[in-house]
Amino acid sequence: MRTKITGVLNRILEDEVRLQVGAFEYQLLVPDFVRRHVQGREGQDITLHTTEYMDGNPMQGRVVPRLIGFASEAELEFFELFCTVDKVGVRKAIKALVRPVREIADAIQRQDSKWLTTLPGIGTATAEQVVATLRRKVTKFALMAPEEPRADGTPGPVAVDGSVIEDAYHALLSVGHNPVEARNRLDKALAGNRSYKTVEEILLEIYKQGG
């Protein structure tokens, strides 16, 4: 199982990228938000976190192994979680994820089925199933720090581990903040894409800001 690949970005196509790794060029399927993440970086080294699946129909005698790439482990984890929803397969999930993980997870947590139907291939029934299946499982993804752009305009990496942010969120709830207040205070603390390693560092920054 290949979990990560680093190579020179040769080409960006509609729903895939091609990476040159030594003498080999690898095809990786990518959701649209990942394609935008690497846009403009042709000729540069990039690293993608990967998962694999078998594409095709065994009854027809042709099954092809496919690699799917993501810019971070958190994005990969969310994709695999999204695929657990009934009737949402790998191909549908790749097509649907056109917005950043943070935005989709936030809509799921808010139980906003109408917003989810704006994603390609997600109808009303599927959106409701996504909410019913995932709404209690996406907190840390909804609280992911927004990415700051690099100097060339492409998105930068998320600075804080999602689990640390989720723990900070629950800590704020435990001292009496409601969910909206907790989210707003976290967003403010994370706005500068500063790196935090512990819950205590995040809470200290919130209190410094008058939280």
**How many CB atoms neighbour CB 86 within 10 A?**
9
pLDDT value at 121 more than 60: yes
pLDDT in tens, 30-78: 999 999 889 889 999 999 999 999 888 778 778 889 999 999 999 999 9
pLDDT number for residue 93: 96
pLDDT number for residue 73: 92
pTM > 0.85: no
pLDDT number for residue 193: 58
In sequence order, the 6+-apart residues with CB closer than 8 A to the CB of 130 are 82, 85, 88, 108, 113, 116, 122
Q: What is the mean pLDDT of the chain?
A: 86
Name the most confidently modeled range: 46-60, 123-137, 197-211. 123-137
pLDDT in tens, 148-181: 554 454 445 444 666 677 788 888 888 888 877 8
Instruction: Count Cβ atoms within 10 A of the Cβ of residue 211 and give its class: 0-12 exposed, 13-18 middle, 19 or more buried.
Output: middle
